[in-house]
Chain A
Amino acid sequence: MDVVTQMQRQLLQYTSSLFKEGFLDDQFNQLQQLQDESNPEFVVEVVTLFFEDAERLLNELSKSLEQESIHFRRVDAHVHQLKGSSSSIGAQRVQRVCIAFRNFCEQQNVEGCLKSLQEIKQEYSLVKTKLETLFKMEKQLFAAGGSSVSR
């Protein structure tokens, strides 16, 4: 098996595992379908925007929850935004924790919120690492003369 075929197979298996483990859902597929020769970096670009957005929101959330008196509405607004953008790129596990987080906000449950924040940070960190790995593999495949099988 030549190198390119091997790399393609590895990429496929890796991508597949991300779906199986629930890190990504169908929306990620949708984004891949929107990528073509005229927009070869579309997925990376959108995901990068998501990373920036998520990091900003996680910072805001940390600050908000450190306050003496917590503004749950404000916290909820941030979580809502994070839920939205994670949903738009298919980051399923992050999105799911956001849903739980919003419930805690509604209940004004500080412990629950803090716990959710920790979970989101964890899930975000995981999906970020995995997506970065995915993009790196795609780049290497492309450099070796292959093309990503998603196209």
Chain B
Amino acid sequence: MECEGVVSGVRMGESSEEVHVLAVDDSLVDRKVIERLLKILACKVTAVDSGVRALEYLGLDQSDAFVEGLKVDLIITDYCMPGMTGYDLLKKIKESSTFREIPVVIMSSENILPRIDRCLEEGAEDFIVKPVKLSDVKRLKDYGVGGRINKRKLPDTTELDLSSSPPSDSSSSPSISPSSPPVIDSPIQRLKMTTTALD
């Protein structure tokens, strides 16, 4: 069964070490940002605007059909979307025998603990609070983001670290901006630390 509209058709064997991320977000602005963030970290990106489209892309809309040559390494989805939410999409993916192993990361503008818990319980790997930054996406390197095999010499991701602020008298450096939220550990990090201990 051919998957129509495949933008970045990943062919088996050719770029199999390149991480292919399926990004789902109804906001065009956010899609553009997440796509850029992932591409900077050498990922192949397919961005869709809804959960329904994501399921179509995966071949999960009709039946659990296998789409020839499709390889998705990570799914990153917005939580609040009209129609099917990111949570609904997460559930559908975890219910699928073909795709349940694919790590799913949820993004949300609202840092609501019960919401985060719910997603984790349903099998989400991580939860990113929007607006999404490069450091958030770099955190996903466990799933291959930023390169997983040494074959490909990727730019040292630490060079992209924001702590290397622009030189001289630029007063727009992150530390000075009074409005930036306090840097806190991702709630998922703390939760992950407890759950891995239980494995």
A interface residues, Cβ below 8 angstroms from B:
12, 15-16, 19-20, 22, 25-27, 29-31, 33-34, 39, 42, 45-46, 49-50, 53, 77, 80-81, 83-85, 87-90, 92, 149-150
Known: A16-B172, A29-B172, A29-B174. A42 touches B36 (CB 8 A): yes
Interface SS, A side? helix
What residues on A are CB-neighbors of B174 within 8 Å?
Answer: 26, 29
Decide yes or no: A34 and B37 within 8 Å by CB, A12-B170, A19-B171, A87-B109 being known contacts.
yes
In the complex, what distance in Å separates the CA atom of A81 from the CA atom of B27? 8
Question: How many whole Å from A69's CB to the nearest CB in chain B?
Answer: 21
- A-contacting residues of B (Cβ < 8 Å)? 27-30, 32-33, 36-37, 40, 80, 82, 109, 130-134, 160, 162, 166, 168-174, 176-177, 179-180
The answer on a CB contact under 8 Å between B40 and A34 is yes
Shortest distance from the beta carbon of B159 to any chain A beta carbon, whole Å = 11
Main SS class of interface, B:
loop
Contact A29 B177 (CB under 8 A): yes
Q: Please tell me if the beta carbons of B133 and A46 are within 8 angstroms of each other in the complex.
A: no
Measured CB to CB, the nearest residue on chain A to B40 is A34
- With the chains together, A27 CA to B177 CA distance in Å? 10
Q: Are A46 and B40 in contact (CB under 8 A)?
A: no
- Bound state CA distance, A53 and B28, in angstroms? 8
Considering the complex, give the chain A residue whose CB is closest to the CB of B174.
A26
A87 and B130 form a contact (CB under 8 A)? yes
Contact A30 B172 (CB under 8 A): no
